[in-house]
Amino acid sequence: MRTEFDLRLSNSLLGRRFTLAVKIGLVIFVLAGIIFTTLPAFAVVADPDSAPTISNVFANTHLYASGDWLIYGEYNIPYAVLPTPSVTATYIFRLMSADGSTEVGRIIPYPEFDKGYNVGDFSMYLASGIVKDTAYIIQITQNPAQFASPKTWSFPMDSSMYSGFTDYFSNAFEAGTKILALADHVGSLFSTPLITTVGSQQVFNSDGETYYRGVIPGVQDMLPNLFVIQQSALDLTARTWTTAQFDNYLERFDGTWVGDEQDATGAQSGMSGNMVMSMIVIAPMCIGLMIFSAMKFGKTDPGLMSCAIILQMGVVMGWLPAALFATIYQLMGIYIAYLLFFARS
């Protein structure tokens, strides 16, 4: 038989359990309210005003690595009233195989103007796996999380969209020209110029750089000619110096009447035709310049500087043997060192 003490103890334990359950319930209710009020609400986005389109599609290869492809072009997802989320949350661009069964690549558009809706540019970079002239399908697909009934629009590629060039420089020039045309069009539509002219070359301005770094990730590495400040890797390969070009200059007049006359004159003097021309053309010019310098300026330094140019011109004409040219320049170097370190002022 339960005593009054037992009943009180039992009621106390039940009360404590009830109070704990109420506290746990309140905590769960509060946490649920916080979670559900802070989670973003995915409202259903309206369909575009008309079917999206893709145009001016082109593909260039070997822009960054051998065998890669950059597919780029212009899209239009028309909205007079822009949806609340940007295009990055609502649309996906996919590159599909020719039969539409395999996804080759995908990107989301870059939201610079009108949140990315209406007209914009896009690109897909693929390091490998693309077969030239294949009728791949570019799809614009609605994100299922944002649309009640997601739709897909398909745009097949054709062989005319592929570049016919196989080297980097031709592909880079072609891609740069086409991308500048796209930039000019997009900039004119949004009254925001994206290109400027530096010297005789058109390049991106600051707005263009911002936009196309987003549209084409890595564009400065692939197409540095589109930027005012260009970067390139230093060529640190050791160079082997030869006299091949000098020898070509010495043989400039071989097989001509000038060369024949040089050789004939040199034979009469017991020297080569090149040497005799240096004696009757180059030496008198240098001596005359030094005499003129001494008379005009009271020193021969201006004449010696002019002689350095005359000697180089003599080399290009093939009228100065390599050994004589090297000896004269070494003597000039010694004389300059003398003037700098030993001559009294």
Are 74 and 54 a contacting pair, CB within 8 Å? yes
Q: 279 by DSSP, 3-state: which?
A: helix
Here the tokens at position 90 are 């609502």
User: Which segment, 3-7, 223-227, 238-242, is predicted with the most confidence on average?
Assistant: 223-227
Indicate the average pLDDT of the chain. Answer: 87
Would the pLDDT of 21 be above 60? no
Q: Which phi and psi angles does 238 have, rounded to 5°? A: -65, 135
Give 39's pLDDT tier (boundaries 50, 70, 90): very low
pLDDT at 9: 45
CB within 8 Å of 187: residues ≥ 6 apart: 193, 194, 195, 207, 208
pLDDT at 199: 83
pLDDT at 2: 54
Would the pLDDT of 41 be above 80? no
Burial status of residue 146 (CB atoms within 10 A of its CB: 0-12, 13-18, 19 or more) = middle
CA-based nearest residue to 318, from 240, 257, 258, 241: 258
Q: What is the pLDDT of residues 87-108, one digit of tens each?
A: 999 999 999 999 999 999 999 9
Q: Which phi and psi angles does 71 have, rounded to 5°? A: -105, 125
Are 96 and 54 a contacting pair, CB within 8 Å? no
In this prediction, what percent of the chain has a pLDDT beyond 90?
A: 52
Give 338's pLDDT tier (boundaries 50, 70, 90): confident
Give the separation between CA 83 and CA 89, rounded to whole angstroms: 10
CA-based nearest residue to 50, from 118, 115, 112: 118
Give 328's pLDDT tier (boundaries 50, 70, 90): confident
Domain boundaries, given as residue ranges, for the chain: 53-226, 244-341
Answering whether pTM is above 0.85, one says no
Are 186 and 113 a contacting pair, CB within 8 Å? yes
Would the pLDDT of 32 be above 90? no
Pairing state between β 103-107 and 118-126: unpaired
Mean pLDDT over residues 129-137, rounded?
94
Neighbours of 217 (CB within 10 A): 14
Q: Which residue has the higher pLDDT, 147 or 5?
A: 147
Q: Give, in degrees to the nearest 5, the angle at Cα 245 between 244 and 246.
A: 90
Q: Which phi and psi angles does 24 have, rounded to 5°? A: -65, -40
Would the pLDDT of 315 be above 80? yes
**b/e for 79-110, b at 16 or more Cβ within 10 A?**
beeebebbbebbbbbbbbeeeeeeebbebbbb
Q: What is the CATH number of domain 53-226?
A: 2.60.40.150
